[in-house]
Amino acid sequence: MVILATLQISFQSKCLRREVTFNALLPVDLPEGFGQPVGSGEPLRAVYLLHGFSGSHNDWMNFSRIRELSDRYQIAVFMPAGENHFYLDDENRGEWFSEYIGKELVEFTRRMFPLSAKREDTYIGGLSMGGYGAIRNGLKYAELFGRIIALSSALIPYKIANAAPDYDDGIASYKYYTSVFGDLSQLLGSDKDPERLVLDLKAKGLKLPKLYMACGTEDSLLDVNRRFHDFLEREKVGHLYEESAGAHTWEFWDKQIEGALKWAAEDNDSI
């Protein structure tokens, strides 16, 4: 009998140079199937699900129906911590959050669990800060991720590029944003700018991940989500963009992650 296993795992990350912890949901019978495919014998699809600003690796477990959805769609879910770093590498501190999320964690979980190694079976997703992290790292590591799920994405390079030293948006200040994103006058067009990553992949003739975006019409981040959607439309990048009533809340994200996983479970060759 296949059951849903809930685990909290710690390991020594080379990218972050310390012990890290993440949560995992696996629709497998671990006593019999640990380390090997179970049920039909097919490896599991996996989604790496990122939390928002000021959140933790427990958020998706605490505030959404992700356990139910992992079981329903028979997909392994891995929930790491981003620690307010927008899932970007911090060169000054030698903490490589992007590489940890986009490569090290994928490789570690594939060694530990019966996961598919196919790009089309490997997804990255998130909300708010994690939505930005999913888009940016899904594109940066496009050879690993076949799909990106981005909910209420904090696409703040649009907002903070060329900001003045007295900038403060009520969430963070100029000093914080420069510590995370670097020189804000050079942000647009850098590899922290999703538009630049899309254009680079297209120029190289590489396949882009399929993208699902959603944002609530009462969300303060609606403008930047629309802006990125419009950019993708201009560049003829296939994606699914959803707007519906809702704010920057778990009520909206819980509803949208269900739709996103349903989308991911289907064959969307036309997207």
- Asked whether the predicted pLDDT for residue 31 surpasses 70, the reply is no
On the question of pLDDT at 10 being above 70, the answer is: yes
| Token pair listed for 269 | 């060759």
Mean pLDDT for the chain overall: 93
pLDDT at res. 37:
43
Q: Does the structure show a pLDDT above 90 at 42?
A: no
C-alpha distance from residue 56 to each of 53, 83, 134, 142, 159 (Å): 8, 7, 15, 25, 24
Distance (Å, whole) CA 265 – CA 256: 14
pLDDT digits over 206-251, tens only?
Answer: 999 999 999 999 999 999 999 999 999 999 999 999 999 999 999 9
What pLDDT score was predicted for residue 33? 45
In angstroms, what CA-CA distances link 90 with 146, 192, 211?
26, 12, 26
What pTM was estimated for this model as a whole?
0.94
From the list 58, 26, 53, 229, the residue with the least C-alpha distance to 130 is: 53
pLDDT greater than 90 at residue 6: yes
* DSSP assignments along 49-97, one per residue: EE--TT--TTHHHHHS-HHHHHHHTTEEEEE---TTSTT-EETTTTEEH
Q: Measured at the alpha carbon of residue 174, what is the angle toward residues 170 and 180, in degrees to the nearest 5?
A: 105
pLDDT digits (tens, 9 = 90+) for 87-100: 999 988 899 999 99
Output the six-digit token pair for 61.
């477990």
